[in-house]
Amino acid sequence: MGKLFYHQIVLSLCLLSLIGCKSLTRGTPDWVTNPKSVYPENQYLVAVGEGDTRRAAENAAAANLARIFESHIESDERLLDQTHETTTSFERTTDFSANINILSSQTLFNIQHAEAWQDNKGRIHAVAYLDRRETAAIYRDKINEQTALVHFLIAQSEQTQNLLKKYATLRTAVHHMAENKILLRQLKVIHPPSIPGSTPSYTENKIRKALAETAKKIRVTIKIDGDNAHRMDAVLEELVTRYGFVVGTPSSLTITGNIDVADTGQRTADLVFVRYRLALQVKEADGTVLVSVNEKGREGHVSLAEARIRSFRTLENIIRPKGSQRLDAYFDSLIDPLPR
């Protein structure tokens, strides 16, 4: 009785280990060599992957499914502004570039996994698929949701008199439009007949134009002490003009700061060291501080002059990403809660 029970347990475990994996004695399943023969193309999008484990094989299959879609979506909008100067004011800006780059793998919805099979080398093969009609319904709902958010944000931007909040609201609307564009491009691959009924009811160019025109009204002055070569000025001008703002007066925003680079007195056989400090603030016209950046560190080089240059280069490389992150966070904070 005990031996019989033991053999039953072993047999059950063996059967469980084979669930989802076709027996080797049955040969290679059709879906491994020709998945479309099992998952008709008019009903499914399908891909096969392999790995050392079932999870790894399913992940590989999902990645191969994503490669059916475009892996690089790029939107590049440019608006050229002119330099203008009068006796009471001046303004200067570069091309307003709003680049939206979506790289690497696509984020897909409703991926499903079905069969798996182990070959004679121990490699697991798995299938990933999307049911076209079922997935299309999910995408239509998501597109409608994004479209509703865009309309909500446009209405909010029209109601506010605060220039910075208006800019932030339109900027967020453009972000949701970009998300919608990705969903529409994926839906076009998944179920082309759904595209005509899913096209958003807003006009993208009109919203982008409103954002650019609002951005041009935001003038920024820059004053950095301790930077006689004006290297940091140039970095900050580049930063603000990438948002579409204008460097000039009268200003809506002021960027003030101080850079101090001092000899530490420390020496090695071939290096001279300096210590740098940067204190930077972005303020509204009334003096309210919106963004603060404080950095300090040490750099070394063969001479004092070279060490100083290196310290400015380090600060430039810090300010570009950190300045954008802080400004992005500030503008995001201005957005009213979105409906869900």
* pLDDT at residue 78 is higher than 70: no
* pLDDT at residue 96 is higher than 70: no
Which of residues 89 and 111 earns the better pLDDT score?
A: 111
Buried b (16+ CB within 10 A) or exposed e, 254-286: bbebebebeeeeeeeeeebbbbbbbbbbbbeee
The distance of Cα 252 from the centroid of its chain, to the nearest Å, equals 28
- What pLDDT, on the 0 to 100 scale, is given for residue 19? 39
**Which letter does DSSP use for residue 12 in this model?**
H
Which of residues 180 and 13 earns the better pLDDT score?
A: 180
- What pLDDT, on the 0 to 100 scale, is given for residue 77? 35
**Which letter does DSSP use for residue 63 in this model?**
H
- What pLDDT, on the 0 to 100 scale, is given for residue 95? 40
Q: Can you state the angle between helices 231-242 and 304-333, rounded to 10 degrees?
A: 20
- What pLDDT, on the 0 to 100 scale, is given for residue 70? 55
- What pLDDT, on the 0 to 100 scale, is given for residue 33? 92
* pLDDT at residue 8 is higher than 90: no
Backbone angles phi, psi at 263, to 5 degrees: -65, 125
Which of residues 8 and 298 earns the better pLDDT score?
A: 298
Give me the CATH topology for the region 219-333. Answer: Double Stranded RNA Binding Domain (3.30.160)
Q: Tell me: the pLDDT tens digits for 105-163?
A: 468 899 999 889 999 999 999 999 999 999 999 999 999 999 999 999 999 999 999 99
Average pLDDT, the chain: 83
Q: Which residue in 153, 143, 209, 212 sits closest to 178, CA to CA? A: 143
Confidence of residue 288 (pLDDT cuts 50, 70, 90): very high
With a pLDDT cut of 90, the percent of the chain lying above it is 69
Mean pLDDT throughout 258-265? 92
Rg (CA), the chain: 29
Q: Tell me: the pLDDT tens digits for 15-25?
A: 334 434 443 33
HEC secondary structure over 276-330:
EEEEEEEEECCCCEEEEEEEEEEEEECCHHHHHHHHHHHHHHHHHHHHHHHHHHH
Characterize the bridge pairing of strands 84-85 and 73-79.
unpaired
* pLDDT at residue 5 is higher than 80: no
Contacts of 39 (CB under 8 A, 6+ apart): 31, 46, 127, 129
Q: Which residue in 109, 94, 187, 192 sits closest to 147, CA to CA? A: 187
- What pLDDT, on the 0 to 100 scale, is given for residue 27? 81
- What pLDDT, on the 0 to 100 scale, is given for residue 66? 86
Buried b (16+ CB within 10 A) or exposed e, 155-164: ebbeeeeeeb
Mean pLDDT throughout 52-60? 93
Rounded (5°) CA angle 19-24-29: 80
Helices (H) and strands (E) counted in the chain, each on its own, are 10, 13
Domain 18-71+105-131 has CATH 3.30.470.20: no
* pLDDT at residue 335 is higher than 70: yes
HEC secondary structure over 69-98:
CCCCEEEEEEECCCCEECCCCEEECCCEEE
Confidence of residue 340 (pLDDT cuts 50, 70, 90): confident
What tokens appear for 328 in the block? 């992005």
Please state whether 230 falls in left (phi above 0), alpha (psi between -120 and 50) or beta: left
- What pLDDT, on the 0 to 100 scale, is given for residue 336? 85
* pTM for the predicted model, two decimal places: 0.77
- Distance, in Å, from the CA atom of 157 to the CA atom of 159, rounded to the nearest integer, reads 5
Cis status, amide bond into 40, omega within 30 of 0: no
Q: Where are the domains of the chain?
A: 18-71+105-131, 133-215, 219-333
